[in-house]
Amino acid sequence: MLYAIGAGPRVVGVSSYDSYPPEVKTLPKVGALLDPNVELMLSLKPRMVVVYGSQVDLKEQLGRAGVAVFDYRHAGLADVTTTIRALGERTGTGAKAEEVARGIERGLDGVRRRVQGRPRPRTLLVFGRERLALRGLYASGGVGFLNDMLDVAGGSNVFGDVKVQAVQASTEQLLARRPDVILETRAVNSAWPSGDHQAELNVWNALASVPAVRNHRVLFLFDDRIVIPGPRVVEGTTAMAKALHPDAFK
């Protein structure tokens, strides 16, 4: 977001997982959500540190050191543009931030129009499970940015009635929910080796009575633009929409 709104040249450190845009790969890594390196952060002499809302201890430590924080949370898709606008205000790049935010909103409206009026497949949106197994399976519940992106993309979340961001789903629940499409998504650096693709697809054959499995609509989308709620959410939502409604994009 900081790079998108023109504040990139002022970034002096990034989290352990930041890899986009390419410029961040040369910057010091200062830990992540669960292991922030406060000593390293302070050594970079930042005027502001961007922290997630749940990082209470980090905020207290930075406060004692006299360093300002920008505190944010990403719950729903709308929080992406809200955060961009707020970052713009804090960094003096408000005009550019507003331009980026409006572009995202227009882009999402464009995806909605593409899929409007089409049948909405009942979709299981999976973002985590054990390798070569249906254990430890986590799917999007009925709140959160992944659920919102799925809605814009023209899908109907099979766990839409479960008002949490993540559902740890059992095979019994999957059999009962009977999704028309199973969409698995991950960050690119968490993707399976290409040779494992068919083996991971075959894992779902254990649920042969589920329409998505029976009709060969188990889809893998390994794409940072889907799982990272940032300026590229339009591209991520478009990727979802193309998977669900390929005819809409011909």
- For 117-145, the pLDDT digits (tens) are 999 999 999 999 999 999 999 999 999 99
In whole numbers, what is the pLDDT of the chain averaged over residues?
96
- 3-state SS, one letter per residue, for 104-129: HHHHHHHHHHHHCCCCCCEEEEEEEC
What is the pTM assigned to this prediction? 0.95
What's the rounded Cα separation, in Å, for the pair 217 and 240? Answer: 13
**What is d(CA 168, CA 209) in angstroms, rounded to the nearest whole number?**
21
Q: How many other C-beta atoms are found inside a 10 Å radius of the C-beta of residue 64? A: 9
pLDDT at 158 over 80: yes
Structure tokens at 175: 């059999």
CATH 3.50.50.60 fits 118-249, yes or no: no
Q: List the domain boundaries for the chain.
A: 8-113, 118-249
| CATH architecture type of domain 8-113 | 3-Layer(aba) Sandwich (3.40)
Per-residue pLDDT tens over the stretch 23-80: 999 999 999 999 999 999 999 999 999 999 999 999 999 999 999 999 999 889 999 9
Kindly report, residue by residue over 192-229, the tens digit of the pLDDT: 777 788 999 999 999 999 999 999 999 999 999 999 99
